[in-house]
């Protein structure tokens, strides 16, 4: 807990891993926002659109379209685990990630942006400086800062200091969370949050575990507690074969209705399969490569289910 002025000043030096500070974001809360993406997540959703935010450590991305084939990365790697352009052309992974020590010398040697870092260690002050630079857009549109990920609350010290700093700057603050964190952590964060963006993926605990790596008991319990303290938007990904059935969505709608009036809207987020290049750049397998993106027309009947429970609903964030 940040209590004193002295502690608040010190909090500005707290650091966290950030993958992106996205300006002019219009899908992560009201108005024009700056969304800060924190690296690291306790879930392993097979459809994840932000694989660079899954692991809570720095990673090297290889963007082959930018590679000039100069070979500087091959020469400088102390472990000799970076493949040559010829080897890559023949199907070899650019980096043997099992042996990579993350010295990041290959990134420093790359002049063309073919090798880039996923995750930057930034201080609270550095992040807030970037966020506050767009204040004029927030005041004109009713926007502000959204903290997303990954899961921001897996780095509670950094997240609490960042949320508190944003509130001290009189910014509207949204927190986007999967809810799979200790209640005490989420409860403290809510002291500094105007609107909670809360993910609900499935009501069946075992199916939730199969798809995300964790069961949903803690997530649902935290949603019930949070709904008594803060306004919420529930975010429901629509994933083919997982939760896109009428039965699954009706169960989620019933739960959303039970949370009461602090649930301001339910967002149905159609699955898209645009993340393949991100997975490839990280040397990760993309299990959804053969899945088709969900069209808005297919989500319309599911939207009507939520309307039937008296819930404001929209397709997309």
Sketch out the chain's domains with CATH numbers. 5-55+119-315 (3.20.20.70), 59-118 (3.30.70.20)
Phi, psi (degrees; rounded to nearest 5) at 81? -120, 15
Task: Return the residue matching tokens 């992560």.
Answer: 28
317 pLDDT exceeds 90?
Answer: no
Q: What is the pLDDT of residues 40-91, one digit of tens each?
A: 999 999 999 999 999 999 999 999 999 999 999 999 999 999 999 999 999 9
Q: CA 44 → CA 28, 53, 151, 209, distances in Å? A: 21, 11, 11, 9
Q: Are 178 and 219 in contact (CB under 8 A)?
A: yes
89-117 tens-digit pLDDT: 999 999 999 999 999 999 999 999 999 99
pTM over 0.85? The answer is yes
**How sure is the predictor about 11, in pLDDT bands with cuts at 50, 70 and 90?**
low
Distance set, CA 240 to CA 200, 236, 273 (Å): 15, 13, 11
């Amino acid at each position: 807990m940040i209590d004193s002025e002295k502690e608040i000043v010190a909090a500005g030096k707290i650091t966290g891993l950030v993958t992106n500070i996205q300006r002019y974001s219009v899908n992560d809360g009201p108005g024009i926002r700056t969304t800060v993406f924190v690296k690291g997540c306790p879930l392993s959703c097979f459809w994840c659109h932000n694989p660079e935010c899954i692991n809570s450590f720095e990673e090297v991305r290889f963007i082959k379209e930018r590679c000039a084939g100069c070979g500087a990365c091959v020469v400088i790697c102390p472990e000799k685990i970076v493949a040559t352009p010829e080897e890559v052309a023949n199907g070899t992974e650019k980096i043997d990630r099992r042996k990579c020590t993350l010295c990041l010398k290959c990134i420093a040697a790359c002049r063309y942006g073919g090798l880039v870092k996923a995750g930057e260690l930034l201080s609270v002050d550095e992040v807030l400086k970037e966020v506050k630079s767009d204040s004029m857009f927030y005041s004109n549109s009713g926007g502000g800062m959204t903290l997303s990920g990954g899961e921001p609350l897996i780095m509670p010290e950094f997240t609490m200091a960042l949320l508190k700093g944003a509130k001290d700057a009189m910014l509207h603050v949204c927190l986007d969370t999967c809810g799979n964190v200790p209640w005490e952590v989420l409860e403290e964060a809510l002291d500094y949050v105007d609107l909670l963006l809360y993910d609900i993926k499935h009501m069946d605990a075992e199916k939730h575990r199969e798809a995300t790596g964790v069961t949903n008991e803690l997530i649902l319990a935290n949603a019930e507690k949070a709904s008594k303290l803060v306004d919420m938007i529930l975010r429901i990904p629509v994933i083919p074969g997982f939760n896109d059935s009428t039965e699954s969505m009706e169960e989620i709608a019933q739960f959303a209705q039970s949370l009461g009036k602090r649930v301001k809207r339910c967002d149905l987020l159609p699955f898209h399969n645009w993340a393949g290049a991100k997975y490839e750049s990280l040397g990760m397998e993309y299990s959804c490569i053969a899945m088709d993106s969900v069209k808005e027309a297919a989500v319309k009947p599911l939207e009507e289910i939520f309307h039937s429970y008296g819930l404001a609903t929209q397709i997309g964030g």
